Structure 1
Amino acid sequence: YLNNMYKQNIPELESARTYGILGIILQFVGTGANILTNGLGFIISIIGLILLFLSLKSISNYYGNQKPFKYMLYSLISGIVLGTISAIVIILLLLPVAFTTTTGPPNAISRISVSAIGMIFLTLFLVVMAVLVSVIFEYLAYNSVYELTGIDDFHTGALLLLIGVIFTVILVGIILILIGIILLIISFNKLPTEAKPVVIDQDAAQNQGDGMI
């Protein structure tokens, strides 16, 4: 009974629950809105991402372990860096094709067609790699939350999200992503009541108190 009571009313985890649930929902809505609108979906996704960072920062601070926040930060940085590199590589490869189209001989059209096919596969490869690396760090972030809180759904949801991204080219991948998102929402909802409390080293606390006397 005392153990269950001790798990209740943890302000850091209560705010983490709110930020986490809203963040995941907004990111999901923003991704869908990107298909229908220009710019609005991106703004919604950014707001969701900020809320997720606030959630993981609250969890990291409460447990005194910055792994969740750092891994999520690595996910963002790797996505931006690899995405930028991919865009630069694609532009550099497109320039010779554009130049050949405008100044090259007529028989260059067939070579351009071959190059275009190669460009499509290269573009897909670069995009998939950028997304995959980012999602791997995101998986590590949620998995570290599982290790700190003991809530299994964080591990399962993050794993399904990772596998879903890998198989996103087929329908089953999209289904796994949706299930993973739902499990992560459920995980954040469990935070204030089912997460493991911080373990206080009584001996260390006693020694610190004796030293202050």
Structure 2
Amino acid sequence: MCIMEAVTNSGSNSETVDISTERTLGLIGSVLGLASIVRTSVSGLLALIGAVLILVALYGIGNKLEDERPFNYYLKAIIVIFVLIMVGVIVIAAALVVSSGSTSSMENEFIMSPGSDITIIEEESPHLTGEGIVLLVIGAGIIIAGLIAGGYFQKKAWEAMYELTGVEAFQNAAKFLWWGVLTIIILIGAILLLISAIFQIIAFANLPKRLSKRSTPPAPTPVEELSW
């Protein structure tokens, strides 16, 4: 007679980590990001500070939850946007330099009295040449491509945050962000980006101060065979 007994442990251990500091940094950074859209006079500085704070927040969350996807995606977004916008600006500046050599002027002659005349030469004004227009279009295209590529990586960052935290506002921020960058050349794109920035603030505000981190489940207990 043989009796087989199998004892297995299927439970998983979990521990909580404190992300209150990262939550605050992400919230402040998101608010500054929204402010950069509204306050155009200092938009560049506010956007830079906000992006750095969010990057630090995502690094801390990813480090504590042992998932670096949000940080890596957001870092790629910043690098791509910065590099391509700089390249686009350089190309546009080159277009202006090329066109600066081409000017137009108009000369008018007025006869005031017999034997005397006055000639008025209007101020020369630069105008875009064919090469300048081509460079201008290329530069603008590079900037738009940078915004779309950066928006894609940022969307992936928020989707990863939704998977890690379960906060639905991160998913909404990702959706509105992606459609916003795709329609950036028309007015609706700016509106969608504004909505995405608002959802981003809501997401960090709804982020709990402590999150559960799943640890590796223990290995099953070996099967024991008892016989007599």
TM-score (norm 2): 0.70
The structure that is strand-richer by fraction is 2
Residue-pair matches, total = 187
Note the 1:21-36 alignment, pairs <5 A.
21-33=27-39, 35=40
Local SS of the residue matching 1:197: strand
Alignment-derived partner of residue 71 in structure 1: 73
Note the 1:82-97 alignment, pairs <5 A.
82-97=84-99
Unaligned 5+ segments in structure 2 are 1-13, 105-124, 220-228
Q: Determine the C-alpha separation between the residues in 1 that align with 2:140 and 2:206.
A: 37
Q: Are 1:201 and 2:216 matched, yes or no?
A: yes
RMSD of the TM alignment (CA)? 3.0
Percent identity (aligned): 27
Q: Determine the C-alpha separation between the residues in 1 that align with 2:102 and 2:43.
A: 37
Q: Decide which structure has the larger Cα Rg and report it.
A: 2
TM-score (norm 1): 0.74
Amino acid at match of 1:68: P
Q: Are 1:163 and 2:183 matched, yes or no?
A: no
Q: Determine the C-alpha separation between the residues in 2 that align with 1:112 and 1:175.
A: 32
116, 120, 139: which one aligns with 1:123: 139
Q: Determine the C-alpha separation between the residues in 2 that align with 1:200 and 1:10.
A: 12
Structure 1 87/41 Cα, relative in aligned 2: closer, same or farther at 3 Å? Answer: closer
20, 24, 29: which one aligns with 2:26: 20
- CA displacement at 1:189 relative to structure 2: 1.9
The structure that is helix-richer by fraction is 1
Local SS of the residue matching 1:198: strand
Q: Determine the C-alpha separation between the residues in 2 that align with 1:175 and 1:188.
A: 21
Local SS of the residue matching 1:168: coil
Structure 1 63/48 Cα, relative in aligned 2: closer, same or farther at 3 Å? Answer: same
Q: Determine the C-alpha separation between the residues in 2 that align with 1:199 and 1:174.
A: 39
Local SS of the residue matching 2:214: coil
Q: Determine the C-alpha separation between the residues in 1 that align with 2:92 and 2:190.
A: 27
Unaligned 5+ segments in structure 1 are 1-5, 103-108, 205-213
Structure possessing the higher relative contact order (Cα contacts under 8 Å, 6 or more residues apart): 2
